[in-house]
């Protein structure tokens, strides 16, 4: 509900309005709390599948990835809120590390022709530049992406990631974790269950900040339980430094066509998601449609933020939908409030000890939060599909795209005849499903049932 003590109704709908600092700072930190867990989780997942995640000796790399997730989410958010020429929507858009790219990045990191971090980050940088270029024509391709297509894509992202949540709750993904005698044990699931129960209780029965940050508070509760059970090690926190600047090309530079093509193709998905978020912000916060300049500027900022992050070891950035809902709930449209949150993220990203604390969270505790988050991604896709007219034509498009995409995820060896690059792209499931849905939606007539 809108708090009119922050400003008049006209001021609250104005992106250029700055509330008093006593109100603006808590509102800005609230935006960070709403996205914090989702922002660092992709880095933890990529570290895990690459072999230097929880429990590995190379925890420094994981801590650095977590730092870069916070730092460049803040940088990308500043680009959106403050703007650089035509770049940036100058709206209260919170940027963060995108889940959408994980179904492409995971097989590229663990499959044949493994990209490695040098190839991954180079692909992120090049994909970000491509994403930037989408801004020049984003308005012209929206006709090809109705709710049938976008809803299916978001649903596929969630379905592709749900397996990761279950593996984490059981004790971690990969053979390294599966070989542990505790994998799948009752203590792991108990700790994950605490996170889920606390998250749901706060989400439905609490109000205000506690409800907004329900996943974060649930993780803290699970962390405390894990600490009491002796599953938390703080040794890495003591060894971590207090300040560290990012290093350009920290992992080197290597062209890997599988990850480059995958990043460029997924940039379309991310761009459409951002268009939807920009529209949601202007409708929910200001009661108007987004302008062409705002949509174009937001897309430019998406790509530029991703490209800069890739240079320094950050993963792809996109607008965060949960913060769109937060603006609608608070009624505060001020971009300067989100700028304060961005500055807070940047400060966190420069302090390795914060990354080390996040790294000390047991994988099964994170699994409880991930189960909720990834399930919500799939649910968001299902919600988008509720706007579809389910006639015979649309059901056929959905059925074929879902069957092929989900099937290739579950049986990656089914396309063994392909080369490494094509195999990685196809077995993500997401890209073939999106391609089939877009093409069929364009070529099938509307009047077949």
Interval 255-313: pLDDT, tens? 888 788 888 888 887 887 788 778 777 876 777 777 888 889 999 999 999 999 999 98
CA distance 177 to 194: 21
pLDDT at 176: 64
Residue 121's contacts (CB-CB under 8 Å, 6 or more residues apart) are: 249, 250, 251, 310, 311, 313
Q: Rounded to a whole number, what is the distance in angstroms from the first to the last CA of the chain?
A: 43
What phi and psi values does residue 95 have, to the nearest 5 degrees?
A: -95, 150
Strand stretches in 20-163, DSSP E? 95-97
- What is the pTM assigned to this prediction? 0.75
CA distance 449 to 439: 18
Residue 85's contacts (CB-CB under 8 Å, 6 or more residues apart) are: none
Residue tagged 């300040």 (tokens): 243
Residue 316's contacts (CB-CB under 8 Å, 6 or more residues apart) are: 97, 98, 100, 101, 124, 127, 128, 263, 266, 270, 306, 309, 310
On whether the CB atoms of residues 310 and 128 are closer than 8 A, the answer is yes
CA distance 55 to 67: 18
On whether the CB atoms of residues 433 and 406 are closer than 8 A, the answer is yes
Give burial (CB, 10 Å; 0-12/13-18/19+) of 140. exposed
pLDDT at 150: 77
Question: In the structure encoding, which two tokens stand for residue 114, read together?
Answer: 């493994």
pLDDT at 1: 46
CA distance 270 to 188: 34
pLDDT at 112: 44
What pLDDT, in 10s, does the model give residues 14-63?
777 777 787 788 778 777 776 777 788 888 888 877 766 555 556 677 78
CA distance 284 to 326: 9
Q: What is the dihedral of CA 246, 249, 252, 258, to 10 degrees?
A: 110
- Domain boundaries of the chain, sorted by first residue: 15-443
DSSP letters of 385-447? HTTS---HHHHHHHHHHHHHHHHHHH-GGGGTTS-HHHHHHHHTSHHHHHHHHHHHHHHS-TT
pLDDT at 302: 93
With a cut of 70, which residues of the chain have pLDDT below it? 1-7, 34, 51-59, 108-115, 173-177, 208-209, 212-213, 240, 284, 322, 325-326, 328-331, 419-421, 424, 447-449
Give burial (CB, 10 Å; 0-12/13-18/19+) of 394. buried
Cα distances from 69 to residues 11, 306, 316, in angstroms, run: 32, 11, 9
pLDDT at 170: 85
Q: How far is CA 89 from the centre of its chain?
A: 19
Average per-residue pLDDT in the chain? 81
CA distance 152 to 134: 21
What phi and psi values does residue 295 have, to the nearest 5 degrees?
A: -65, -45
Cα distances from 408 to residues 32, 102, 405, in angstroms, run: 36, 16, 5
């Amino acid at each position: 509900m809108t708090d009119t003590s922050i400003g008049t109704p006209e001021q609250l709908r104005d992106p250029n309005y700055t509330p008093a600092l006593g109100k603006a700072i808590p509102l800005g930190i609230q935006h960070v709390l709403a996205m914090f867990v989702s922002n660092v989780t992709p880095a933890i997942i990529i570290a895990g599948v690459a072999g230097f995640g929880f429990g590995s000796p190379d925890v420094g790399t994981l801590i650095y990835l977590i730092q870069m997730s916070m730092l460049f989410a803040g940088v990308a958010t500043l680009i959106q809120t403050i703007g650089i020429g035509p770049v940036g929507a100058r709206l209260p858009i919170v940027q963060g590390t995108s889940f959408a790219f994980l179904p492409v990045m995971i097989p590229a990191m663990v499959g044949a022709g493994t990209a490695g971090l040098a190839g991954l980050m180079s692909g992120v940088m090049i994909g970000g530049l491509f994403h930037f270029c989408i801004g020049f024509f984003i308005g012209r391709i929206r006709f090809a992406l109705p709710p049938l297509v976008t809803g299916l894509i978001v649903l596929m992202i969630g379905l592709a990631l749900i397996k990761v949540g279950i593996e984490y709750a059981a004790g971690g993904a990969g053979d390294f974790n599966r070989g542990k005698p505790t994998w799948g044990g009752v203590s792991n699931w108990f700790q994950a269950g605490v996170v889920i129960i606390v998250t749901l209780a706060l989400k439905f029965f609490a109000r205000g900040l506690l409800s907004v940050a329900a996943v974060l508070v649930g993780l803290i509760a699970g962390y405390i339980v894990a600490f009491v059970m002796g599953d938390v090690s703080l040794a890495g926190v003591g060894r971590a430094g207090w300040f560290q600047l990012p290093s350009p090309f920290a992992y080197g530079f290597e062209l890997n066509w599988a990850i480059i093509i995958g990043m460029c193709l997924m940039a379309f998905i991310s761009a459409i998601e951002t268009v939807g978020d920009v529209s949601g912000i202007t409708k929910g916060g200001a009661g108007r449609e987004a302008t062409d300049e705002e949509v174009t500027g937001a897309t430019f900022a998406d790509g530029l933020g991703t490209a800069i992050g890739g240079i320094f070891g950050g993963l792809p950035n996109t607008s965060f939908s949960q913060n769109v809902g937060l603006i609608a709930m608070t009624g505060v449209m001020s971009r300067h409030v989100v700028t304060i949150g961005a500055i807070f993220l940047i400060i966190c990203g420069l302090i390795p000890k914060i990354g080390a604390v996040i790294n000390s969270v047991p994988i099964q505790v994170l699994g409880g939060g991930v189960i909720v988050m990834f399930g919500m991604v799939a649910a968001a896709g299902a919600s988008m599909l509720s706007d579809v007219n389910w006639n015979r034509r649309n059901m056929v498009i959905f059925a074929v795209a879902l069957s092929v995409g989900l099937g290739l995820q579950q049986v990656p060896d089914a396309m063994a005849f392909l080369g490494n690059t094509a195999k990685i792209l196809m077995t993500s499931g997401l890209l073939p499903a999106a391609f089939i849905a877009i093409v069929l939606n364009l070529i099938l007539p509307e009047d077949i049932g």
